[in-house]
Amino acid sequence: MTGADLHMLAGAYALGALAEDERAAFEEHLADCEACAVEVAEFQATGARLAQAVAQNPPPAMKQQVLGRIAVVRQEPPHVEMPAPRPPSAPARARRGARFALAASLAAAVALGGVAAWQYTRAQDAHQQAQQAQAETAQIAAVLSAPDAHAVVGSVGGAGQGSHATVVTSRSENKAVFLTPGLPELSSGKTYQLWFDDAGVMRPAGLVAPGATDQTVLLKGPIAQAQGMGITVEPAGGSLHPTTAPIALMPFPAT
């Protein structure tokens, strides 16, 4: 593959459409080609904007119908084998049978009430998560489409091989969006964590699931006075402060 051929792969790389051998060759070329680095950043930002432009929310009526069904349709109760009734030969046995039936009825009523409460809680949780995801998607679209949006591409090393990522900032929105076609897989119990770089002091800004492709992550918190962002490898769940050296540092455009 010639150098001219590699220059033509920027768009396919930004969209994660290259085969493994082509991706490795292009990333080696990308490390020394500033023109391709800028082109990849622009393709990634444009692709994210186009995706947001055609995204559609489900009709409100459909969401309400699904959440309503979750709240009222109960699961099948567990099947309980009842003992075969005995001939009423003794009054004491009859009384024990009546007490057992009453206890079983009460237990079933309590169990069904617990199932209904659990389903209602799950429905409320699902509704809240849907609202949060919708708000985050809207904020990402606002950053990517902001008149003062700026994209910076950077190299992400570690885990045996490198990758590239883009950060788009908007001072008017006071937010930043991290985009990557995929980061190297990490060992079990590790995750990528994003940070705002406040003049050398790292401020937590969210996590990136390792191994996932085509990620677009809204950094948590405002840009404020941050001069850039960093990426570290942290224990699953993240850390309050970096526990490893950054595998990438990406400066923000000066105001």
Give residue-wise pLDDT tens across range 120-157.
555 555 556 566 667 778 888 888 888 888 888 888 87
Residue 160 confidence (pLDDT): 47
User: Of 207 and 210, which is predicted with more confidence?
Assistant: 207
Q: Is the pLDDT of residue 167 over 80?
A: yes
Instruction: Provide the CB-side half-sphere exposure for 253 (13 A, CA).
Output: 15
Cα–Cα distance for residue pair 184/124, rounded to 1 Å:
36
**Non-local CB neighbours of 179 within 8 Å, separated by 6+ positions:** 44, 45, 48, 165, 166, 167, 168, 215, 216, 217
Residue 100 confidence (pLDDT): 59
Going by their DSSP bridges, the two strands 248-251 and 150-156 should be labelled as: unpaired
- Residue 176: φ, ψ to 5°: -135, 150
Residue 122 confidence (pLDDT): 57
Cα–Cα distance for residue pair 47/4, rounded to 1 Å:
23
Grade residue 210 by pLDDT with cuts at 50, 70 and 90: low
Residue 195 confidence (pLDDT): 92
Average pLDDT value over all residues in the chain? 74
User: Of 9 and 107, which is predicted with more confidence?
Assistant: 9
pLDDT per residue over 185-208, tens digit each? 788 888 889 999 998 899 999 888
User: Of 252 and 162, which is predicted with more confidence?
Assistant: 252
Residue 111 confidence (pLDDT): 56
User: Of 215 and 176, which is predicted with more confidence?
Assistant: 176
pLDDT per residue over 8-66, tens digit each? 887 788 777 788 888 888 888 877 887 888 778 777 777 666 666 555 566 666 666 66
Residue 159 confidence (pLDDT): 45
Three-point CA angle 133, 251, 234, nearest 5°: 60
- Give the pair of three-digit tokens for residue 34: 């500033």
Going by their DSSP bridges, the two strands 163-170 and 201-208 should be labelled as: unpaired
